[in-house]
Structure 1
């Protein structure tokens, strides 16, 4: 029986970002985000997302925010493996200023309309360097509903997870400015990889994923 990978994208991104990866020997399905409920926590949201999973012991692949959702799903249903790309496994891997912002509830006063407008700083922050990457990032932000963006940022800043599942592959770039590499533990480092490395470092990420998928001991 062919194993199945469920793909969870980053905040606002859709399944197109996974087109740069080449999964071998598995079936893949992109999970569309559900509209969040008012004041819904990340664990509660993840529980609703599990309703989309129909395969026993699935493999979860989470990009950025999607990786955090994957970690919460893995606490609620049996999963075979979890693959994180440019993400965090637990709250301690978030930057200190995320946690500080949550304490001050700064997410309530963020200018979300401005956040959705890409500019030179946005491109630098996400590590988008080529014209193609900038266009892709701009399109991702354009398509992200403001209500989802507000909810997701609050969910990230107030994330409480301290549990780390077994059978995890965490791939992270050492130039990530959204989730700095110095904060994450037990990862495969992609040299020069920024937060958007799934686009420009896919040729390095793909072999790591397929090796992990095909290794029965992992």
Structure 2
């Protein structure tokens, strides 16, 4: 939530044509669908692209597959439907309306960790609205896009779904903590696709 291109450190740049995108400047989008539309326009996402999305970014990428003809979608520690989000977070999400996100966001900036810095840089209105939007989302649904799922065995935000293509010994942020394994898996999948 609120992560930016720092979520994809080296070796992500070794993937051919890999372009990490930051969230668009928040302009009052109230749903994942609206956010997907803004991302498509701002980031020039086109038919035939492959998408990689982590956490909320993966959920928005699911929505992009409804707008563009995406060839392949890699969900990294993400959900294909709201029911996959942790039951505890599902139970607590109504509190986001009153949670002091601005205070937490500013406090996170004091922690010298890359993730805390990303959260500190995120817009509070974006975080608050997208937290609520997740639990109103109708999910990926039927798609012609090939979806591959990479997940951390110990993810407590979005526990591993029943069917996973790559399961690593990590938590929710495997795009950062297990970047090498994720990149190797994706590179292998792309080589196999080219050969077939």
| TM-score, length basis structure 2 | 0.84
Q: Equivalent residue for 2:9? A: 19
Aligned partners of 1:142, 1:25: CA distance in 2, in Å? 28
Q: Does 1:167 align with 2:146?
A: yes
- With over 3 angstroms needed to count, the CA separation of the structure-2 counterparts of 1:162 and 1:13, relative to structure 1, is closer
Aligned partners of 1:192, 1:73: CA distance in 2, in Å? 29
Q: Equivalent residue for 2:82? A: 91
- With over 3 angstroms needed to count, the CA separation of the structure-2 counterparts of 1:198 and 1:69, relative to structure 1, is same
Q: Equivalent residue for 2:162? A: 185
Q: Which of 194, 205, 211 in structure 1 is aligned with 2:171? A: 194
Asked if 1 retains the 8 angstrom alpha-carbon contact of 2:10 and 2:179, the reply is yes
Distance apart, 1:138 and its partner CA:
2.0
**Pairs within 5 Å for 1:1-218:** 11-22=1-12, 26-38=16-28, 40-51=30-41, 52-101=43-92, 105-116=94-105, 117-118=107-108, 135-165=113-143, 166-181=145-160, 184-216=161-193
Write the deviation string for residues 167-216 of structure 1: whole angstroms up to 9, x where unpaired.
Answer: 111100011122122xx232134332111222221222111111122222
Distance apart, 1:39 and its partner CA:
5.7
Aligned partners of 1:202, 1:24: CA distance in 2, in Å? 11
Structure 1 stretches of 5 or more lacking a match?
1-10, 124-133
- With over 3 angstroms needed to count, the CA separation of the structure-2 counterparts of 1:25 and 1:40, relative to structure 1, is closer
Write the deviation string for residues 90-134 of structure 1: whole angstroms up to 9, x where unpaired.
Answer: 1221223344445xx322112213432349xxx9xxxxxxxxxx6
Distance apart, 1:24 and its partner CA:
5.1
| TM-score, length basis structure 1 | 0.76
Asked if 2 retains the 8 angstrom alpha-carbon contact of 1:91 and 1:162, the reply is no
Structure 2 stretches of 5 or more lacking a match?
none
Asked if 1 retains the 8 angstrom alpha-carbon contact of 2:55 and 2:76, the reply is yes
Distance apart, 1:22 and its partner CA:
3.5
